[in-house]
Structure 1
């Protein structure tokens, strides 16, 4: 084999190695992109859970895409379009009131998300569940426990992940007669006083509330403490 043949073979081997590395780099970038997508979708879904906990209906609707959005909760039927979704959340679920009344409790604990992202990374679906607890309205003699299963859709719109559809079927509801619900925790120790006071109680809520450390995941605006103004409905 002459020198030219050796160089030709060496060049071909180098080209094959470069092609293999380029393919591996592309697959690695794709896998990294899928992980980033999953994190953003989880953030959307968890934000949805926190917003419904606090009856923040405008903030919930702002998580949805501008085109093709829908929501279907239990057997209440499906509502189409972002503004119809907001109206449904506020008027039907919220009875016209934004935010929590004093001593009101609502929790939607988001769990077990299984997220499937399309190969082109432009759409995704998830299955998850919510454990629901609440005493809404706060003077009800019962405490609600419920479980629901989500099958949701997401879409990348204008380069940003948004919720396309929320669909939840309820596994069960249980209204338990309650004896008492209380909100203050134990007081500061007298034997070993704290170095600084705790977060103060929000009087309109009747309990402490941790301020939001993040802005709205889609719109970017600052999130308010969800205390209802009962005179104006929010």
Structure 2
């Protein structure tokens, strides 16, 4: 009887842990989806409020990083809000910016306080012809495909956005498609804050736009072999050329000054060890 009771307690404990893990994964997934819904309608104040106040929080975007809450505000409430909706919080008539989020892979640390998510975004964007004379973008319509490799932390019992790495993988004009897209479709930032009042805190070398097809690194090892994907296999040489001729692989490495153990734990088999120990 005592042995049966002990076994039952152990099973209940295991089920509780599994339920907590599944629940955390669902909450992280919902957190990102909520971010996407706010982003769709240019609700940039709501987007910024979803980010952690942790000093190591940042957004990596278009070859640059916006660090800390101040940098994140500069990106969303400065650059995006001013250029898309002229400073208001919310949509403007006739401007489309829909982000479809999908193929999400969420992994939560055993501590229950740190999570990673890889997710694809497909964006439909543009302006209606009726606002061609009043919106600074004129009359335009385009597609965008991108990939997130993000981190989240739990603060005061609430999951928040922590390190957001978004790689806009490709753009395409609606009329001509992706095969005709000009290279470097979106200009890279060239000046940092405060020289550029809405600029990033740092310029980095992670510059990738179609037709560059390098692989954004995976936060997780291979689910069967347990191995990380080789860096050379993440590169994209010209057809038939040696891999050494290609651009260097992309990286999920942290910026200078951010390292060491935190909410993450190196004993998480679902996250690469070199990433799992970083808060």
SS, match of residue 135 in structure 1: strand
TM-score if structure 2 supplies the norm length? 0.56
Q: How far did 1:94 drift? A: 2.4
1:1-234 to structure 2, matched below 5 A, reads: 14-67=1-54, 68-75=56-63, 77-95=64-82, 97=87, 98-136=89-127, 138-139=131-132, 140-177=138-175
Structure 1: 5+ residue runs without aligned partners? Answer: 1-13, 179-234
1:60 is displaced (CA, Å) by 0.2
* TM-fit CA distance, 1:126: 0.4
Task: Quote the Cα distance in structure 2 between the aligned partners of 1:141 and 1:42.
Answer: 34
* Residue in structure 2 matched with residue 205 of structure 1 by the alignment: none
The TM-score normalised by the length of structure 1 is 0.66
The Cα offsets for residues 162-190 of structure 1, whole Å up to 9 and x where unpaired, read as: 11111111210112349xxxxxxxxxxxx
Structure 2: gaps (5+ residues): 133-137, 177-279
Q: Deviations over 1:39-83 (max 9, x none)?
A: 2111110111111111111100111111132111232x1111123
In 2, Cα distance between the equivalents of 1:153 and 1:126?
6
Q: How far did 1:15 drift?
A: 2.5
CA contact (8 A) 2:51 2:162 kept: yes
The one-character-per-residue Cα deviations of 1:114-133 (angstroms, maximum 9, x if unpaired) are: 00111111111000011011
Rounded Cα–Cα distance in structure 1 between residues aligned with 2:73 and 2:7:
50
Conservation of the 8 A alpha-carbon contact between 1:69 and 1:81:
yes
Tell me which protein shows more strand as a share of its residues. Answer: 1
* Deviations 1:79-114 (CA, angstroms, capped at 9, x unpaired): 111232122112212225232211111101111110
Structure 1: distance between partners of 2:70 and 2:49: 9
Contact 1:132 1:146 in 2 (8 A): yes
Q: Matches of 1:74 and 1:111 in 2, distance apart?
A: 21
Q: For residues 138-172 of structure 1, what are the alpha-carbon distances to aligned partners after superposition, in whole Å with 9 as ceiling and x for unaligned?
A: 52332110100100101111121111111111210
**Higher relative contact order, chain-length normalized (CA < 8 Å, sep 6+):** 1
Bigger-Rg structure (1/2): 1
Give the Cα–Cα distance (whole angstroms) in 2 for the partners of residues 162 and 23 of structure 1: 32
2:216 equivalent in structure 1: none
Partner secondary structure for residue 13 of structure 2: helix
Q: In 2 relative to 1, CA 39–31 (structure 1 residues): closer, same or farther, beyond 3 Å? A: same
